[in-house]
Chain A
């Protein structure tokens, strides 16, 4: 069964450093998303991406965040200058139609 994959599973970085989280969506999907989940809290929407551009972003997704689909298979989330409060689990999701979003296993980002 096709699934969304994410790398790395855990990333530790120092405050102020740049991080890139990588995702491989399900191959025939067209819609891509990033969500995050701070420990013990609900899942929060960050950004959606379709047709090589951002279709929607939340207030969390400020100028420090960017997304890219550098090739036909990868979808990345970059945080330019990490803050302590960026520590969270980051989930990539993809969907064929704009619903039935399938989530990856997540990347745990720890900012020290």
Chain B
């Protein structure tokens, strides 16, 4: 069962543009939704996370939008920079039951200068 679906698989954006990555989940018990950034050869790095009691969270150029009724959440990267070129994974977990993260398939973002 694919618990977290992520799209698109890849995207190319111009420097200064907005990157948008979408995720949808099936398990209504999920209550923690982090995004991870991964550079080639490195481990996933926690970027930003949201709990379902808020609809949006912003940290610098990164914003998570959360729609509980639609069971969807998205990552927006504003003013995209070449250094943002990486693979981004959404994830979800149920903190009341177990703590394992269920990851999406990942989105490779390429920011062109």
Residues of A within 8 A of B (CB): 4, 31, 33, 35, 41-45, 48, 55-56, 58, 91, 95, 98-106
Measured between beta carbons, the chain A residues less than 8 angstroms from B36 are 43, 103
Q: Is the CB of B98 within 8 A of A103?
A: no
Measured between beta carbons, the chain B residues less than 8 angstroms from A103 are 36, 43-46
**Supplied contacts A55-B98, A103-B43, 19 more A-B pairs, CB within 8 Å:** A4-B43, A42-B89, A42-B106, A43-B91, A43-B103, A48-B99, A98-B99, A99-B34, A99-B93, A99-B99, A100-B34, A101-B34, A102-B46, A103-B36, A103-B45, A103-B46, A105-B41, A106-B42, A106-B43
Q: Is the CB of B44 within 8 A of A91?
A: yes
With most chain A CB atoms within 10 A of its CB, the pick from B49, B93, B100, B104 is B100
* Cβ-neighbour of A100 out of B49, B103, B104 (below 8 A): B49
* Min distance, Cβ B22 to any Cβ of chain A, angstroms: 15
With most chain B CB atoms within 10 A of its CB, the pick from A100, A103, A105 is A103
Interface size on B, residues (CB 8 A): 23
Q: Is the CB of B95 within 8 A of A99?
A: yes
Interface string of B66-103 (1 = CB under 8 A from A): 00000000000000000000000101010100111111
Q: Is the CB of B89 within 8 A of A100?
A: no
Residues of B within 8 A of A (CB): 32, 34, 36, 41-46, 49, 89, 91, 93, 95, 98-106
Q: Is the CB of B43 within 8 A of A56?
A: no
Measured between beta carbons, the chain B residues less than 8 angstroms from A100 are 34, 46, 49
